[in-house]
A = this chain, B = another copy of it.
């Protein structure tokens, strides 16, 4: 299936690089070009065979028939107007950012064929050097078209993610951001808070469970500041929920209630055991 002639990946990091590698490997297009502000990233992308050509300037995307926006959320929102003036009118465009309401709303007005996408694959690692063509294998990619999004555009993006090995799921950007606020953004906020709560002199006693619970606290700080700010309302709601649950445990501890503590922990175990 050669679905595209020329694909432009804007942002050749972990996700953009992995998409490029996978598209090349699966021969989903004739050519992939990479665009980045970072020359080292472009050099690595070329060296790794992720892209055929690499450019520091956006001008190179002008004859692409698919443009993939794989930058952090703020860069996408900032550069989208400029990008929309360069691309062909019938160019298919999707992004891969972790938040969808603002991006989908704004970019749907800028591009004729835009589809919001969020591949739930990634890592606390970043950069092209961690890119893998199989990063999306057996993962989930959420697509967030609006009511007026072109149906054939959605179908093309869906087919592409299926070809990359992902299952796709369509939902509204609002529902996406609400869900991710809890199942992803809150986990990160909890991990950041947990590791920051350990007195510095105790960090050397880093037992396996602490390391596992806080692995994602190694994620890129700027990227995550952008994500939680872009999903501010849901992040705040999720934090409030976590605060209420901590207060509940604290209160049971204060009143030395073994039965209340056991009840809370049982509920947690039941929920955790139920995760697929």
* Residues in A lying within 8 Å of B, measured CB to CB: 120, 140, 179, 182-184, 186-200, 202-207, 209-222, 224-226, 228-229, 232, 235-236, 238-247, 249-250, 253-254, 256, 258, 261-262, 264-269, 271-276
Contacts and interface: CB of A to CB of B under 8 A. Distances in A.
**Which of A198, A236, A266 has its CB near the most chain B CB atoms (within 10 A)?**
A198
A98 to B, nearest CB: 11
A213 B187 contact: yes
Contacts of A262: 221-222, 225
Nearest to A271: B195
27 contacts: A183-B198, A183-B210, A188-B209, A190-B190, A191-B268, A193-B242, A195-B272, A196-B264, A196-B267, A200-B271, A212-B212, A212-B213, A214-B268, A214-B275, A217-B265, A218-B273, A220-B269, A221-B266, A224-B265, A225-B261, A229-B261, A232-B256, A239-B253, A240-B250, A242-B246, A243-B247, A246-B246
Nearest to A190: B194
Contacts of A205: 120, 140, 179, 183
Contacts of A220: 269
Contact of A232 (B187, B197, B253, B269): B253
Contacts of A120: 205, 207
Nearest to A198: B182
Contact of A192 (B182, B187, B202, B264): B264
Contacts of A268: 191-193, 195-196, 214, 217, 221
A188 B232 CA distance: 27
A203 B274 contact: yes
Contacts of A253: 228-229, 232, 235-236, 239
B197 A245 contact: yes
Protomer copies: 2
A262 B219 CA distance: 11
Contact of A245 (B193, B210, B226, B254): B193
Q: Which 6 A-B pairs have the closest CB atoms?
A: A221-B265, A193-B245, A192-B268, A225-B261, A206-B275, A217-B272
A176 to B, nearest CB: 10
Contacts of A189: 246, 249
A89 B256 CA distance: 35
A218 B189 CA distance: 21
